Amino acid sequence: MRPRWTTGPTRPASPGGPPAPAPTSHSVWGPTPRADGPEAAAFARRAARLLDLGALHFDRGIRAYYYTFAATAWFIHPVLFMIATVWVTAVLLRREFRSRTRNILLSEPD
């Protein structure tokens, strides 16, 4: 009987020890259902939501980091702060809505 959950491939064991997990590039660690099992689709949806949430928080953190440059300008002069805030906002809007990456993602498939 196959186990219900697997932890992925393993490397050969060190002498006298259990097999070690193989290095992978997965972002979600832990036991995952087999690809042919009934839980696989539900697990994939949960993993996608988890990764989406992580990307959202990462993106917000990067934006906050960019605005710290504008906030630092406040120490020099309030007008410079306003100019820097408008500049950072323009850069972020361009990167979000007018980037080449976005255009490629929205283009029709070949």
Q: Tell me: the pLDDT tens digits for 66-102? A: 999 999 999 999 999 999 999 999 999 998 888 888 8
Scan for tokens 């070690």, then name that residue.
20
Q: What is the average per-residue pLDDT within 39-65?
A: 88
The share of the chain scoring above pLDDT 70, in percent, equals 68
Read off φ and ψ for residue 5, nearest 5 degrees. -115, 145
Q: What is the average per-residue pLDDT within 27-43?
A: 70
| Tokens coding 103 | 């255009």
Q: Specify the pTM.
A: 0.55
